[in-house]
Structure 1
Amino acid sequence: MTTSSIPGYRLGDTTLPKSPLTKDDLATLKTTLLFGDADVAALRQAHGVVEDQVEAILDVWYGFVGSTPHLLAYFSDAKTHQPSGAYLDA
């Protein structure tokens, strides 16, 4: 699997299918999560802090997911129940 075959990995690509969620749906989700402008600002600030550490952070995250069966299921082949290397490599 390549990054071009995973929906959403091509930010700004106009050939991608539109999300089934509306902007109102997104606003509702943000309200539910108490996610506001301060959170957006904090994420933007964090980008500069973690930018050069992304691979290390992902290594820790994938280690956590790989050791947590109910999370690993989302990264696994539905038929074989084996982790999807193609997805994880993308």
Structure 2
Amino acid sequence: MTAVYSLDMSETAVICLDEAVRRELAVARAKHGNSWEVQSIVNSWGDTMDDRETLAAIRLFNRTGSMFAVSQDRAGRSSDHSRCGEGMG
């Protein structure tokens, strides 16, 4: 059980994201063990990927079995979730 004391909304959101990442990581480890891809995502969390990026990466991994899979966003555009080429039109 998570105790939430007098936190503002942004702190509560961070706690929820952190818990969501941990839940998805548990699912990934249950499905795939502590594979190098799972470990790579874990090692990047908080270093090169923030909570939202980590959650997106681990959800993609859980859905496809690969952190390199190409996903479709709601508008049908493909995204490989990499940082290469960001801001390049």
| TM bucket, shorter chain | under 0.3
Of Structure 1 and Structure 2, the greater strand share is in 2
TM-score, length-normalised on structure 1? 0.27
Which protein is richer in helix relative to its size? 1
TM superposition score normalised by structure 2: 0.27
